[in-house]
Amino acid sequence: MKKFAKITLDRDFQISRIDPRIYGSFIEHLGRAVYGGIYQPDHPSADEEGFRQDVLELVKEIGVPIVRYPGGNFVSNFYWEDSVGPRENRPRRLELAWRSTEPNLVGVNEFASWSKKAGADVMMAVNLGTRGIDAACNLLEYCNHLSGTKYSDLRIAHGVKDPHNIKTWCLGNEMDGPWQTGHKTALEYGRLADETAKAMKQIDPSLELVVCGSSNTGMSTYPQWEATVLEETYDDVDFISLHTYYGNRFHNTENFLAQSDDMDHFIRTVISTCDFVKAKKRAKKDMMLSFDEWNVWFHADEQDSDTMKNRPWSVAPHLLEDRYDFEDALLVGLMLITLLKHSDRVRMACLAQLVNVIAPIMTEENGPAWRQTSFYPYLHASRFGRGVALNTALRASRHDTMDYTDVTDVDCAAVWNEEEEEITVFAVNRDLHDSITLESDLRSFPGYELLEHISLEHSDLFAVNSAESQPVKPQKVQGRDELSEGLLQSVLSPASWNVIRLKKR
Ligand code: AHR
């Protein structure tokens, strides 16, 4: 059968206005994300606070709107008080999640300052592993209260007059995982999360709180975990988290690229679970989803599990430094498309992570910061994916893979930026051998013309970038698009990420 893909874009067929926070990311005190990543005072590009400006420039190029911090697994043994005040008084601590030594040279105030420089909001996580309501409320008071109380005055004494006004808070991290310090059952966690949420909202009712969902769909407690936790917390929280990482462990690219369908299924299941609890509680509000850890992650797996147990305790060891190849960038693009298709319920998401640790941005200790292959789809989605997500009504030829059936050969999402009068279609051709023509019916958008067609493609699926060379980078392609009487025909190369941009004349 001839391979095909057709979409119809209509200004009345809208999924939702996209919350820019779906282009969020994540910085954990893990490996070289903080030390040697965002912070390296002896680097030639470091500013007066020790932040690498070459990294900041790349973060700003993407336009990351929000960054989750400080973990991740790290947060479950985080003593925030150790991370503030004069640096010379801050203790070094054993960091249990990643068997590292935490020097506490960067803490809550430094990260807030870095985020400001990056133009991003902070999504702060509290420790519900080894700690609880008390520490969470004290941290909130320290960060957000104006003055005149123990912790707000402590912040001021630490030289930070203005509150950080952090609005988004995660109630712990992956509390369903046996690897988590202070791992809990769903009921234990749900009760603690709810009491913490209530206390935090007494301090500031305008906070948006994220309760932990499952660490991944392979957990034996999934999705009962979500149901139990939401039964305990529904009225007091605003988001439930989802986490997922995919890999190409079987060296089967077709199957690897079909995994965004699994992500789609995961999102649908969590939405159903939220709506079940909503119905049961006769609640009015919809629970929103925070996909606050997602990425490709597997290249560095073996290295890390082998060395993890016996590594000597050290500051900022090289951990999870996945080198992403071209096919990884395609899956990152497909995952972004999946998030956009669910932008009515997925209101926040974080590419995990941002710098050096399973990250689109890497740094050389004595050299530059550079862009991994996965940098580019993330950059394009964040830059051009602002506005309203349109329902594309995709019809496409399909194939089966080892684990998935009925996988569309092309997957895509479309965003209408009404203010700029621009439409962007993000499309991945998952077929590894054939070009496929994507036909877009644009008759609802008279006067729109092609602005550019950007494509990320490479003859070698396993090509990688490095500090020295960038073989995988996007190009503007010519002669692949034809627009006539509101019908746009765009040729998508085999195995390619495409950004097709139109603007009203
Ligand atoms: O992002 C790396 C780790 O993956 C995070 O610390 C944890 O939450 C997840 O398991």
Catalytic residue list contains 293: yes
Please report the atom of ligand 1 found closest to the CA of residue 352: 1
Instruction: Tell me how crowded residue 428 is: count the other CB atoms within 10 A of its CB.
Output: 28
Mean pLDDT score, 458-483: 98
Cα 473 from Cα 470, distance rounded (Å): 6
Residues 49 and 187 placed together within one structural domain of the fold: yes
Same domain, 457 and 312: no
Q: What pLDDT sits at residue 286?
A: 98
Q: What residues contact 388, with CB distance under 8 A and at least 6 apart?
A: 14, 15, 16, 17, 18, 415, 416, 417, 418
Query: What is the 493 CA–ligand 1 centroid distance (Å)?
Result: 34
Q: Does 282 fall in a domain? A: no
C-alpha 152 – ligand 1 centre gap (Å): 30
Mutate to test the pocket of ligand 1, among 75, 292, 293 (most ligand atoms within 8 A of CB): 293
Q: Are 292 and 348 in contact (CB under 8 A)?
A: yes
Q: Are residues 57 and 113 in the same domain?
A: yes
Query: What is the distance in A from the centroid of ligand 1 to the CA of 82?
Result: 22
In a domain, residue 444? The reply is yes
> Are both 158 and 190 inside the same structural domain?
yes
Tens digit of each residue's pLDDT (9 = 90 or more) over 11-32: 999 999 999 999 999 999 999 9
Residue with the nearest Cα to atom 4 of ligand 1?
A: 72
Choose the catalytic residue: 293, 327, 422, 457.
Answer: 293
Return the ligand 1 atom nearest residue 215 CA. Answer: 10
**In whole numbers, what is the pLDDT of the chain averaged over residues?**
97
Q: Do both 327 and 350 map to the same domain?
A: yes
Q: Is 174 a catalytic residue?
A: yes
pLDDT band at residue 309, thresholds of 50, 70 and 90? confident
What's the rounded mean pLDDT across residues 464-487?
97
Is the model's pLDDT at 210 over the cut of 80? Answer: yes
Residue with CA at minimum distance from ligand 1 atom 3? 72
- Atom of ligand 1 at shortest distance to CA of 320? 2
Nearest CA to ligand 1 atom 6: 72
Q: How many angstroms separate the CA atoms of 173 and 404, rounded?
A: 30
Are the beta carbons of 347 and 21 closer than 8 angstroms?
A: yes
List the helix and strand counts (H, then E) for the chain.
Answer: 11, 26
Nearest CA to ligand 1 atom 7: 72
Chosen domain end from 367, 384, 401: 384
The whole-number pLDDT of residue 303 equals: 52
User: Is 137 inside a domain boundary?
Assistant: yes
Same domain, 329 and 421: no
Q: Quick check: is 374 in a domain?
A: yes
What total of structural domains would you count in the chain? 2
Q: CA 78 to CA 60: how far, in whole Å? A: 28
Residue among 25, 174, 296 whose CB has most ligand 1 atoms within 8 A, to mutate: 174
Tell which one of 26, 32, 69, 73 to mutate to probe ligand 1, the residue whose CB is within 8 A of the most ligand atoms.
73
pLDDT band at residue 425 using 50, 70 and 90 as cut-offs = very high
- Pocket mutation for ligand 1, best pick of 27, 28, 32, 100 (most atoms within 8 Å of C-beta): 28
Q: Atom 5 (ligand 1): residue with closest C-alpha?
A: 72
List the CATH number of the domain containing 401: 2.60.40.1180
Which entry of 81, 174, 226, 422 is annotated as an active-site residue? 174
Q: What is the pLDDT of residue 300?
A: 79
Same domain as 184, residue 46? yes
Distance 321 CA to ligand 1 centre (A): 13
pLDDT digits (tens, 9 = 90+) for 83-102: 999 999 999 999 999 999 99
Residue 337 CA to ligand 1 center (angstroms) comes to 22
Same domain assignment for residues 333 and 417: no
Percent of the residues in the chain that have a pLDDT greater than 90, as a whole number? 97
Co-location of 354 and 423 in the same domain: no
Quick check: is 377 in a domain?
yes
Cα-to-centroid distance, 486 and ligand 1 (Å) = 46
Q: Phi/psi of residue 293, each to 5°? A: -150, 115
Classify residue 89: in a domain, yes or no. Answer: yes
The CATH number covering residue 242 comes to: 3.20.20.80
Based on the domain organization, do 358 and 499 belong to the same domain? no
Please give the structure tokens belonging to residue 499.
């950004």
Q: What angle do CA 371, 375, 381 make, to 5 degrees?
A: 150
Ligand 1 site: residues with CB under 6 angstroms? Answer: 28, 71-73, 173-174, 215, 293, 352-353
- According to DSSP, the β-strands at 208-211 and 168-171 are parallel
Nearest CA to ligand 1 atom 8: 72
- 305: pLDDT strictly greater than 80: no
Select from 384, 419, 438 the last residue of a domain. 384
Domain that holds residue 420: 5-9+389-504
> Which residues lie across from 125 on neighbouring strands?
170
Side chain identity, residue 112: A
* pLDDT tens-place string over residues 161-191: 999 999 999 999 999 999 999 999 999 999 9
66, two tokens = 């929000």
Shared domain for 438 and 375, answered yes or no, is no
Q: So what's the pLDDT on residue 301?
A: 62
Domain stops at, among 384, 406, 435: 384
Q: Which pLDDT score, from 0 to 100, does residue 302 have?
A: 47
Residue 351 located in a structural domain:
yes
The structure's pTM equals: 0.97
Give the contacts of 265 (CB within 8 A, at least 6 positions apart). Answer: none
Kindly state whether residue 270 falls inside one of the protein's structural domains: no
C-alpha angle 495/496/498, rounded to 5°? 155
Distance of CA 30 from the midpoint of ligand 1 (Å): 9
User: How many angstroms is it from 72 CA to the middle of ligand 1?
Assistant: 5
Q: Answer whether residue 306 shows pLDDT above 80.
A: no
- Residue 304: pLDDT band (50, 70, 90) is low
pLDDT score of 390: 98
- Whether 361 and 409 share a structural domain: no
